[in-house]
Amino acid sequence: MTSSDHELDRLRRGRSELENHYIDELVAGRLNRRDFLRRGSAVGISVPLLGAILSACGSSASSSTTPPPAAKRGGTLRVAISAPAAAVNPLTVADAGGLCMLNQTGEFLIFDNNLKLALEPMLALKWSPNGDGSVWTFKLRNGVMFSDGSPMTADDVVYTFQQLAEPKNASNALSTFQGVLSPSGVKKIDATTVEFHLDAPNGNFPYLVSSDNYNAIVVPKGTDFAKWQGTFIGTGAFKLKSYAQGSGASFVPNPHYWGTKPLLAGTEFKFYSSQQPQILALQGGDVDVIGQFVPAGATALLNGSTYRIIKLKAANHRELSMRCDQAPFTDARARQAVAYSLDRKGMVTALLQGDGSEANDYPFGPRFPSTDPSVAQRNQDIPKAKQLLSAAGHSSINVTMDTEDYEEIPQLAQVIKADAAKAGININLNIESQSNYYGKATFGNSDWLDGTMSLVDYGDRGVPNVFLNAPLVSGGPWNAAHFKNKTYDSLVKQYVAALDLQAQRKVAGQIERLLLDQTPLVIPYWIDGLTASTPSVGGLNPTSIAQLYLNQAYMS
């Protein structure tokens, strides 16, 4: 036995069965370093311990980023972000600008650190599930204070999550918590312990109370969410200095912050209503950072080395659904024909400037450790597409595709139309404004959900649960493909409940193969999350859903 084996044995002692399972997976080589960090942190292994286990296994926990330039204290960092689309109300915020504002002063129980691809303790120090993953216990950090100097306790956490999960509230988090967590399931055990009793077992629950669920910043008990914008009260490293509706916001260090004090003397956010002026502002020195941008129209930033670009593997993607209950897509072979007609590599190069990766018509991708990577990537194969189409009884088909005018989607629709035409699939495009396309977002009142072919955008998530459920399970609220498959439904239930990675990956493989066989929808690519700054800025910690933590940011 080597000394590192002894060290590993020592570390294993006192760890739960689930935690030891992940250590086994790592030792056996079934889990790589990155996935181990991600999965281990999800079941509550602390980051120092994760590092110790990795080093005992001959790996290192530190990520391989370039060394930063000399950090300097002070200065006001100027950041360009999309203007918040509505009031900054933690309960209702749903857009990139708004959620970036929430995270300036607000903190979550857990931080999903996209740079390290691991869950990190934020307001919760430890978390662990019961045997079947139906009850999760969170131990809160001691001595945390809100920016007004009042202490944060379990009461505040219980209040926050009860409000977010309350079906009677106009809560945006309901799209995550419905069927997972009810208000009565949030229970205070003592001043620093909270239990979540779930509606159904959920192996990925920590992600749902992490920064992934961007509404879930902890606010003081009794907070009137509609008035939160007046105070921005939170436990974060910064506190509000001023907020000007539609124009900008500035923040200064929070003297009551529990963690390492920020290096910056302040931050200033400038709101923009489109991307191009943000790029011009960075080029002209009006701002130091662009919080988040998309590759389309950003060649000035991506070409050359003038700017520092932070790329995050993200699960942003597009879904092209085909109505399984409507001609010509009642036959799975007609749907597969569409999938085989597409040149995904070309799309990633042309539409994303390479800042993304090909996807494979199921919502498992490189972002998620539970993905079964053994399933082969679909590539363009026009003869096969034609053959599938004729097997489905068509020499050619004519069909209309509804889609929205958003980011690169109109161009993607054009590329799909051109590719599909090569296989004899003639697509008429109906590109609408977002409000026209989504309509009332219910069946019968929405081109998105009613169209024979429909191309829609999906933002990033830390786990694929939402992508697996709403757009694909029978009767799912976003099931634009009108896909109904009992085997699929039960596989998703198994996947959501599965606690350990091996079980998740096994079910994931089954789901991947089933979805390729059925092809209710095509996912052409995954899009990276991008943040840009001038070379003098360092220590940025963005997430792929547009949050930006500036605790350790500096200007040299």
Partner 1 sequence: MLRFVLKRVALALLTLWILSVIVFLAAQVLPGDPGRSILGNLAAPSAVRTLDHQLGVDKPVLTQYWTWISHFVQGHPGTSYQYQSAIGPMLTGALGRSLKLAALAFIIVVPLGIFGGVLAALNVGRPLDRLISTVGLSATTVPEFVSGIILILVFGIGLSVLPISATAPPGSGFFTQLKYLIMPAVPLTLILFGYISRMARAGTAEALESDYARTATLKGLPRGVMIRRHVLRNSLLPTITVVATQTGYLIGGLVIVETLFRYQGIGSLVYTAATHKDFPMLEAGVLTIGIVYMVATLLADIMFALLNPRIRLRAAE
Footprint of partner 1 (CB under 8 A): 85-87, 89, 92, 94-95, 167-172, 174-175, 178, 226, 229, 245-248, 270-274, 276-277, 280-281, 283-286, 433-436, 438-442, 448, 470, 477-478
Q: What is the Cα–Cα distance from 43 to 131, expressed in whole angstroms?
A: 12
Which CB, 259 or 477, lies closer to partner 1?
477
Which CB, 151 or 477, lies closer to partner 1?
477
Per the listing, tokens 């995904």 go with: 344
- DSSP state, residue 462: S
Cα 11 to chain center, whole Å?
31
Which CB, 3 or 435, lies closer to partner 1?
435
Q: What is the Cα–Cα distance from 128 to 195, expressed in whole angstroms?
A: 10
Minimum CB separation of residue 364 from partner 1 in Å reads 20
Minimum CB separation of residue 304 from partner 1 in Å reads 14
Q: How many CB atoms neighbour CB 6 within 10 A?
A: 11
Report cis status (omega within 30 of 0) of the bond before 471: no
215, HSE (Cβ side, Cα atoms, 13 Å): 23
Minimum CB separation of residue 541 from partner 1 in Å reads 24
Minimum CB separation of residue 283 from partner 1 in Å reads 5
Which CB, 69 or 277, lies closer to partner 1?
277
Residue 194 backbone phi and psi in degrees, to 5? -130, 140
At a CB cut-off of 8 Å and minimum separation 6, what does 222 contact?
A: 159
Minimum CB separation of residue 71 from partner 1 in Å reads 26
Which CB, 223 or 229, lies closer to partner 1?
229
Which CB, 288 or 419, lies closer to partner 1?
288
- Ramachandran sector of residue 193 (left: φ over 0; alpha: ψ -120 to 50; beta: rest): beta
Which CB, 50 or 466, lies closer to partner 1?
466
Q: Are 378 and 388 in contact (CB under 8 A)?
A: no
Minimum CB separation of residue 92 from partner 1 in Å reads 5
**Which residue, among 216, 249, 100, 119, has the nearest Cα to 548 in the 3D structure?**
100
Minimum CB separation of residue 88 from partner 1 in Å reads 9
Count of H-run helices and E-run strands, the chain = 19, 22
Minimum CB separation of residue 339 from partner 1 in Å reads 24
Pull the structure tokens for residue 93: 């915020």
**Which residue, among 508, 311, 371, has the nearest Cα to 31 in the 3D structure?**
371
Helix, strand, coil percentages in the chain from 3-state DSSP, rounded to 5: 30, 20, 45
Residue 400 backbone phi and psi in degrees, to 5? -100, 140
Which CB, 48 or 246, lies closer to partner 1?
246
Minimum CB separation of residue 228 from partner 1 in Å reads 10
Q: Using DSSP, state whether 475 is helix, strand or coil.
A: coil
Which CB, 67 or 285, lies closer to partner 1?
285
**Which residue, among 506, 517, 460, has the nearest Cα to 207 in the 3D structure?**
460
